[in-house]
Chains A and B, each alone.
Chain A
Amino acid sequence: MNQHDTVPVIETVDLKKYYKVRKGFLHAVDGVNLRILQGQTLGVVGESGCGKSTLGRTVIGLHEPTEGKVLFRGRDMASLTRKQNRQLHTRMSMIFQDPYSSLNPRMCVADLIADPMVINHTCSNRQERYKRVAELMDTVGLAKRIAGAYPHELDGGRRQRIGIARALALDPDFIVCDEPVSALDVSIQAQILNLLMDLQDEMGLTYMFVTHDLGVVKHISTNIMVTYLGKCVELGTSDQIFENPCHPYTKALLAALPEPTLEARNRQFELLKGEIGNPINPKPGCRFASRCPNCTEACLKGDIPEHEVEPGHKVSCVLFAPQSNEETL
Chain B
Amino acid sequence: MEAQSRQTKDRVPAVEVRDLSVEYHSGGSVVHAVNHISFTLEKGRTLGLVGETGAGKTSTALALMRLLPDRVSVIPNGEIRLKGDNVLELPESHMRMMRGSIISMIFQDPMTALNPIMTVGNQIAEAIRNHASDKMTKEQVNRRVEEVLELVGIPAERKNNYPLQFSGGMKQRVVIAIALACRPDILIADEPTTALDVTIQAQVLALISRLKEQLGTSMIMISHDLGVVVRTCDDVAIMYAGEIIEYGSVEQIYGPGDHHPYTVGLFGAIPDLKSKARRLSPIDGLMPDPSNLPTGCKFSPRCPHCTEACRQQEPPETERDGHIIRCHLFGGEKV
Contacts and interface: CB of A to CB of B under 8 A. Distances in A.
Contacts of A187: 52, 265-266, 269, 282-283
Given A185-B53, A187-B265, A275-B170, A258 B227 contact: yes
Contact of A260 (B197, B230, B251): B230
Interface stretch (A6-14, A127-135, A263-271): A263-271
A104 interface: no
B270 A272 contact: no
Interface string A56-71: 0000000000000000
Interface string B190-211: 0000000111111101100000
A194 B280 contact: yes
Given A186-B52, A262-B254, A257 B273 contact: yes
Given A194-B279, A194-B282, A276-B197, A258 B269 contact: no
Interface stretch (A28-36, A76-84, A86-94, A211-219): A211-219
Contacts of B83: none
B225 interface: yes
Interface of A: 47-48, 155-157, 185-191, 193-194, 197, 212-216, 218-219, 242, 252-262, 264-265, 269, 271-272, 275-276
A108 to B, nearest CB: 20
Nearest to B255: A262
Nearest to A265: B230
Interface residues of B, number: 44
Given A190-B282, A218-B271, A259 B227 contact: yes
Nearest to B52: A185
Contacts of B156: none
B171 to A, nearest CB: 11
B286 interface: yes
A276 B201 CA distance: 13
Nearest to A262: B254
Contacts of B268: 190
Contacts of A216: 271
Contacts of B251: 262
B196 to A, nearest CB: 9
Contacts of A272: 199, 202-203
Nearest to B277: A219
B280 A260 contact: no
A26 B253 CA distance: 47
A193 B280 contact: yes
Nearest to A156: B53
13 contacts: A185-B52, A215-B271, A219-B280, A256-B202, A257-B227, A257-B273, A258-B198, A258-B227, A258-B228, A260-B229, A265-B250, A265-B254, A272-B199
